[in-house]
Structure 1
Amino acid sequence: MAGLATGAIFLPSFPGFGGTLVDPERLLETVDPALKKRLADAALNAAKSAGASYADVRIGRYLNQSIFTREKQVQNIASGESFGAGVRVLANGTWGFAATNTVTEAGLAKAAQLAVQIAKANSKVQKEQVKLAPVKGHGEVAWKTPIQQNAFEVPIAQKVELLLAANAKALDNGANFVNSALFQINEQKYFASTDGSYIDQDVHRIWPTFDVTAIDRASGKFRTRQALSAPMGMGYEYMNPKADGKIAGPAGTGLIGYKNSYDILEDATLAAKQAKEKITAKSVVPGKYDLVLDPNHLGLTIHESVGHPTELDRVLGYEANYAGTSFATLDWKAKKQPYGSKLVNIVADKLQPGSLGAVGYDDEGVKTKQWDLIKDGVLVDYQKIRDQAAMVGQNESDGCCYADSWDSVQFQRMPNVSLQPGKAKLSVDEMIKNVDKGIYIAGRGSFSIDQQRYNSQFGGTVFYAINKGKIDGMLEDVAYQTNTLEFWNSCAAICDESDYRLFGSFFDGKGQPSQVSAVSHGSSTTRFNGVNVINTARKIG
């Protein structure tokens, strides 16, 4: 996987795919909640005795399994485990944090004492004391991703067989090369705080993916088509295709959209055919086009142009070195300028079933929720955590605090950020009928966006010309250039809820030291009028 800059959707390494390699059977083990409570109490008591006014502890067991194949062979299979605890405290109005992989009462007590020492040392240069939005203690509670089949319980041989079968489908339909992979993650997270919460969570995520390459040996040309799957907050049931989990793409494309299940064999078959078709596809003529964007493509644009600019730490300038700040400052928001057309309603949430961001409680013990970011085209709120709420005159966290490991300090991370579907019944084919000159784009591609999340360029996986209301053949070398406000104000139509699907990423990068988080973005197919399209293959001069 290539590392992409600017708040990268993909990073060279996989979150949770480190730690110690273990026997796959270890992945089914659990830790007794009663033991975790005793360990947590040892840390909390030690922190209070050392002078902390507030403390929380996260005991985390992070499990992963990755399977890689290429053509007819298995390249690698790895199962990993990382286990430890992190303690965060407030002392003298200042944060302190320490972590340990000595998961004993004495080990956690020592980490808590160190965290308090760090906080007191930091307080000498702290200009303003940290103010936390109030959170009521939840007592002893538990939450689990509502999976139907634990992916770690499925025999590795069965999963390998499925990936190799997908490879075979691609090769049988004209691919010259194909590689496929299956990533599975389980976060077993226990949170406790001096507010009186003891929260045990069991979070599951899965991502099947592949790349198919077709070569024309006569010309030397080749093209690649990625999988149109999405990483999901689900179990292995995502790999069992269901008829009601499929949505037909526009007539003339053969594309299938996937909702709550994925048919990797079907997608690999089509991918090989489309990779071959891309070799002889017409190169796009630059100009203004109406764009019809599939959810598996639009999710990336939502992520970069709405998700990141509404993170409050970027808005306030606290997150600047890694991937920049935001044009959507408090002063800009106060002017109530339109972020998009009146059709644009974008919500943040940590609740959507099947989404990567779905949890019961965040890593500060805040119960998760849904809230509006953009309402009728106007920016109405940001994403914020406990120590940010007072900065914008609010007294409640949005429950979007997260750390990617037990040894990472938790901070504000993007929740699911989704464009709400249109209220009037509208199918993709009906939307296309109203487009005179346009392009349909599916799948993610390369992108770039500036440090304030304003000027941007986005590619895709497959492109189809729209001519007088009909699909008119495949295109290549397509990318659109725009700025955030221009783009969202050009939003002219959104398909209804029946077309709504999730895009996702395991790899939203942020912070120094860098952390990654998993996040989904939902939408229905959406039309944007008069967007500037460039030809990425044309040379300048």
Structure 2
Amino acid sequence: MQRREFVQLAGLGAGALILPMSMMGNEIPVEALLDPGMDVAMKKKLADVALNTAKSLGASYADARIGRYLNQYVFTREDKVQNTVNTESFGIGIRVIADGTWGFASTNEVNEEGIKKATQQAVAIARANSSIQKEPVVLAPVKSHGEVSWKTPIKKDFKEVPVSEKVDLLLSANAAAMDNGANFVNSALFMVNEQKYFASTEGSYIDQDVHRIWPTFGVTAIDREAGKFKSRDALSAPMGMGYEYMDGLASEKVEGPNGLILYRNSYDMIEDAKNAALQAKEKLTAKSVDPGKYDLALEPNHLGLTIHESVGHPLELDRVLGYEANYAGTSFATLDKWKSGDFKYGSDIVNLVADKTQPHSLGAVGYDDEGVKTKKWDLVRNGVLTNYQAIRDQVHIIDQNESHGCCYSESWNDVQFQRMPNVSLEPGKEKYSIHDMVKDIEKGIYIAGRGSYSIDQQRYNFQFGGTLFYEIKDGEIAGMLDDVAYQSNTQEFWNSCTKICDKDDYRMFGSFFDGKGQPPQVSAVSHGCSTARFDDVNVINTGRTV
């Protein structure tokens, strides 16, 4: 990455994230985002060049992915625009099996000559790799889909919304925070459109148009006399939606304890920024928590991260098998626990599902990146570990003959591999609200939003913080707390789950930049749940030193 690109894309405000290469590409004029790009007939013709070349060279299987990745980012701070960025990345990735071994190559020369060269390289790499391959690749069968398409069901394409409108929204949110006591505020909009075309020697030609959006901000309030500062981040969730997510419809709001406003499938950024400033100021005088055992009521924007780290990652089959040990770690949820058929991952009411079809989720697509139609399946049912996340060349290891449809690559330039689907906790079946839950707790803490966290390399022992904390005494909110984090291990934690709110409280958390693999790639994934209660959990005070 060149220094100029780094400063443009990663150096300012909420853009301080180091963005992956697929989220960058070449900078383009904003109007170029509306260019329709290559038509489907030409994509099919060029994909066939790759497939036919691979077969002529003796490959037993080949797939080609033509990808156009469009990104727009807007960054602001207080009353200033820090940066607006529009990028495009376009190319083709070709994956083959030759001599029983995978080979992959890619090129941004999306023409017959460039594609033939890349395909020849992919086959040569496969043959070179075959000398150290211990067992041939075994692919689960997949249905040939013919020529099909899928689109994120958006109502408003971000590419058609003027940048000035997006800037006005961010600056208005900043002003709302500043007017209500914030000393500093930065905000950002991340918008992504993946235009992906997949073709394989098994007869599938799949065209997909995927949209994602993430509005976010950070607010800081300062007590200069006390020398203290406190922050509150946005309570938004990244979503698989169009710009309609920013409409902030009142019907999509959920009122939590103490008048806390939470959002579902629609987001009022200005209102959230105003409340963030007020709550950041309140945190300056909040009571520091007394460490001990508490019953926790964890709202979805918070619990989603715990699901991600303690369920999503440990149930990735490649991680279970040790393939990710060097980079991301291994998993406590080993094959022997699954084979036993009675490993209690959680209490009887805990049902955790993987789902690549979930509406509005970041992971929602019609087909994965190896042409498998996506679906929903159980990971934990009635508290018992029942399955993992696996793709075509993995499922035979767990005695299954159908891919789960969770293969993904962050761009045309990277090989596809197993990635986490949306992993979610099913809501409770009985009518039960967060207000009912608070009334049922004698000594507890309600936690909203994400915070700092730590989890070991087997995804077992962990510690999680949050954004907002409210003490619960004898069934009522007793005031705001600070310096809260809870500690547990995955099995103990999920077995302590005693109550889950119903579907009316169900919302999603999301990760826009979930990293995995070497070389590293990112993917976007959501985690849905309703507010859930966990009993007798160890809470520490993060502000005290021993």
- Alignment partner of 2:132: what SS? coil
Q: Which residue of 2 aligns with 1:168?
A: 175
Distance 1:16 1:530 in 2: 43
Deviation of the 1:16 alpha carbon: 3.4
- Alignment partner of 2:222: what SS? strand
Q: Which residue of 2 aligns with 1:452?
A: 458
Q: Which stretch of structure 1 is more off in the superposition, 516-525 or 256-265?
A: 256-265
Distance 1:368 1:306 in 2: 20
Distance 1:207 1:255 in 2: 21
Distance 1:337 1:363 in 2: 32
Asked if 1:93 corresponds to 2:100, the answer is yes
1:11 and 1:133, CA in 2 relative to 1: closer, same or farther beyond 3 A?
Answer: farther
Quick check: 1:16–1:63 contact (8 Å CA) kept in 2? no
Deviation of the 1:256 alpha carbon: 1.3
Structure with higher RCO (Cα < 8 A, 6+ apart): 1
2:379 corresponds, among 373, 382, 387, to 373
Q: Which residue of 2 aligns with 1:466?
A: 472
Asked if 1:521 corresponds to 2:523, the answer is no
Quick check: 2:240–2:364 contact (8 Å CA) kept in 1? yes
Counterparts of 1:399-418 in structure 2, within 5 Å, are 399-418=405-424
Q: Which residue of 2 aligns with 1:284?
A: 289
- Alignment partner of 1:123: what SS? helix
Q: Which residue of 1 aligns with 2:58?
A: 51
1:223 corresponds, among 213, 230, 245, to 230
Q: Which residue of 1 aligns with 2:306?
A: 301
Asked if 1:70 corresponds to 2:77, the answer is yes
Deviation of the 1:15 alpha carbon: 6.2
Quick check: 1:15–1:516 contact (8 Å CA) kept in 2? no
Quick check: 2:422–2:526 contact (8 Å CA) kept in 1? yes
- Alignment partner of 1:134: what SS? coil
- Alignment partner of 1:16: what SS? helix
Q: Which residue of 2 aligns with 1:388?
A: 394
Quick check: 2:20–2:521 contact (8 Å CA) kept in 1? no
Q: Which residue of 2 aligns with 1:6?
A: none
Distance 1:17 1:394 in 2: 35
User: How does the TM-score come out when normalised to structure 1?
Assistant: 0.97
Residue deviations 1:496-519, cap 9 Å, x none? Answer: 000000100111110000000000
Quick check: 1:312–1:383 contact (8 Å CA) kept in 2? yes
Deviation of the 1:246 alpha carbon: 0.5
Quick check: 1:15–1:507 contact (8 Å CA) kept in 2? no
Structure 1, gaps ≥5 residues long: 2-9
Deviation of the 1:87 alpha carbon: 0.2
Q: Which residue of 1 aligns with 2:216?
A: 209
Distance 2:102 2:114 in 1: 20
1:133 corresponds, among 118, 128, 140, to 140
Quick check: 1:42–1:106 contact (8 Å CA) kept in 2? no
Quick check: 1:38–1:105 contact (8 Å CA) kept in 2? no
Residue deviations 1:401-440, cap 9 Å, x none? Answer: 0000101000000000000000000010101101000000
Q: Which residue of 2 aligns with 1:33?
A: 40
Q: Which residue of 1 aligns with 2:11?
A: none
Deviation of the 1:12 alpha carbon: 2.7
Structure 1 vs Structure 2: percent identity of aligned residues?
A: 70
Deviation of the 1:219 alpha carbon: 1.0
Residue deviations 1:378-416, cap 9 Å, x none? Answer: 010000000001111100000000000101000000000
Distance 2:263 2:22 in 1: 26
Q: Which amino acid aligns with 1:262?
A: Y
Distance 1:108 1:518 in 2: 28
Q: Which amino acid aligns with 2:97?
A: L
Structure 2, gaps ≥5 residues long: 1-5, 7-15
Asked if 1:199 corresponds to 2:199, the answer is no
Q: Which amino acid aligns with 1:117?
A: A
2:90 corresponds, among 83, 88, 98, to 83
Quick check: 1:44–1:194 contact (8 Å CA) kept in 2? yes
Residue deviations 1:451-502, cap 9 Å, x none? Answer: 1000000000010000110011000000000000000000010000000001
Counterparts of 1:348-359 in structure 2, within 5 Å, are 348-359=354-365
Distance 1:530 1:333 in 2: 27
Q: Which residue of 2 aligns with 1:7?
A: none
Quick check: 1:11–1:507 contact (8 Å CA) kept in 2? no
Asked if 1:397 corresponds to 2:433, the answer is no
Asked if 1:443 corresponds to 2:449, the answer is yes
Quick check: 1:179–1:211 contact (8 Å CA) kept in 2? yes
1:414 and 1:69, CA in 2 relative to 1: closer, same or farther beyond 3 A?
Answer: same
- Number of residue pairs matched? 530
Q: Which residue of 1 aligns with 2:3?
A: none
Q: Which amino acid aligns with 1:499?
A: D
- Alignment partner of 1:409: what SS? coil
Q: Which residue of 1 aligns with 2:507?
A: 501
Quick check: 2:94–2:118 contact (8 Å CA) kept in 1? yes
- Alignment partner of 2:213: what SS? strand
Q: Which residue of 1 aligns with 2:160?
A: 153
Asked if 1:243 corresponds to 2:250, the answer is yes
Distance 1:235 1:338 in 2: 39
Q: Which residue of 2 aligns with 1:344?
A: 350
Quick check: 2:212–2:241 contact (8 Å CA) kept in 1? yes
Deviation of the 1:337 alpha carbon: 2.0
Distance 1:433 1:294 in 2: 15
